[in-house]
Amino acid sequence: MNFEELLQRPLREVLQTYPYLRDFFAALAISLPNSTIGFGEFLAGQDTAKLEEFSLGQEELRKQCAEFINQMELFKVQGDQRIREITVKAGYDKNGQAEKQDLILRTGEVVCVVGPTGSGKSRLLADIECLAQADTPSGRSVLLDGQAPDQRQRLSGEQQLVAQLSQNMNFVMDLSVEEFITMHAESRLVVDIEHTVEQVYTTAVSLAGESFSRQTPVTALSGGQSRALMIADVACLSRSPIVLIDEIENAGVDRRQALQILVQEEKIVLIATHDPLLALSGDRRLVIRNGGVASIIETSEEERQGLLQLAELDHRLNRLREQVRAGERLDFDLQQFFQ
């Protein structure tokens, strides 16, 4: 971007090209005119006394405006650079025993992480999140598309590799569902915000056990609705290539559909679970013991066949849950139910 050339263009045209400039000027309490004034003329016409309230002069205003555009455009470019593959080079367990093999994670796959509490699941995710370079207790190293990350990638607050969805989701903001999604879309410099808001909202409602409106306050959402909203938000808006889901089986959402949506959005999904239905829905299971990856189990064809039976059983259970939610009496033969 050549800022000097930009100064020669009409303000209205500049705002169409860089809509986030509206936030820049709003933060300085600068009103935007409806006239066809030029961008350079608009900046030069700002009241000096008013700018001094922000410790700015005319030249500082121009410099800060140019820097703001540069940083925001850089942010957009970084967001478009998708990571297709993450390699976790083998490290060591808590006893210093070497892990047997490297771990390769690719977009569009679901990998389940299993192991008892304290086994080291969190350490594995922390190593990925900080782009470990043999400088953590596990000794693991992380490669992005086969290359070691540079120092800028490791230290950048914008390079969030892992989006975590925890079991407990509580909102404290006084916003409606629509306002919440819109705010996040604007922060991500989304071009078609209305379409994105509708996409996130529709996805969230399809995942939740009970419907809610765009005007529902986020603080009024149930646990399942909150979880559904955040899964939809991560799938449609988050730039993080890896999504960690912790114990989704008790979240009150359509868990298999949630996995399908995340995979369709080219996410690498790591899910900590003890639910056999989810475990068999993954491409692989990482077995964590004593701080290390003890084994990697590929989902077999026999297991996939068994998944079909589990899915049918789960469908029947969901039907019963809906009857309970509707206040109906459950009258059925248990022996026939499990046949």
DSSP-H helix ranges across the chain: 3-6, 11-17, 21-27, 39-44, 48-52, 58-80, 121-129, 151-155, 177-187, 193-207, 223-236, 255-264, 276-281, 301-325, 334-337
Residue 241 lies in a domain: yes
147 domain residue, yes or no: yes
Same domain, 104 and 183: yes
> How far, in Å, CA of 191 to CA of 236, rounded?
13
Residue 147, both tokens = 């290359």
Q: Is 95 in the same domain as 47?
A: no
Residues 4-58 have pLDDT tens digits of: 888 889 998 888 888 878 888 888 888 888 778 899 889 988 888 888 888 888 8
Question: Is the confidence at residue 236, as pLDDT, over 80?
Answer: yes
Give me the mean pLDDT over the 222-228 stretch: 84
Neighbours of 19 (CB within 10 A): 14
Q: Are residues 210 and 281 in the same domain?
A: yes
**pLDDT value of position 250:** 53
If you count them, how many residues does the chain have? 339
State the pairing for strand pair 110-114/284-289: parallel
> What percent of the chain stands above pLDDT 70?
88
Assess if residue 333 is contained within a domain: no
Quote the CA–CA distance of 285 and 113 in Å, as a whole number. Answer: 6
Q: Looking at the domain assignment, is residue 108 inside a domain?
A: yes
| Average pLDDT, rounded, for the chain | 83
pLDDT beyond 80 at 264: yes
Q: Are residues 213 and 265 in the same domain?
A: yes
Domains of the chain: total? 2
Residue 213's pLDDT band (cuts 50, 70, 90): very high
Task: Give the pLDDT confidence of 156-202 residue by residue, as tens digits.
Answer: 555 567 787 766 666 767 889 999 999 888 777 777 888 999 999 99
Same-domain pairing of 277 and 226:
yes
Does 332 fall in a domain?
no
How far apart, in Å, are the Cα atoms of 26 and each of 52, 53, 59, 60?
16, 14, 19, 17
Same domain, 273 and 133: yes
Q: Of 80, 106, 125, which residue sits at a domain end?
A: 80
Q: What percent of the chain has pLDDT over 90?
A: 20
Verify that 186 and 39 share a domain, yes or no: no
What pLDDT is attached to residue 225?
A: 87
When pLDDT is averaged across residues 80-106 and rounded to a whole number, the result is 88
Rounded Cα distance, 27 and 48, in Å: 16
Domain that holds residue 257: 85-325
In this structure, the answer to whether residues 175 and 294 fall within a common structural domain is: yes
Q: Is the predicted pLDDT of residue 96 greater than 70, yes or no?
A: yes
Residues 50 and 135 placed together within one structural domain of the fold: no
Tell me which of 80 and 127 has the higher pLDDT: 127
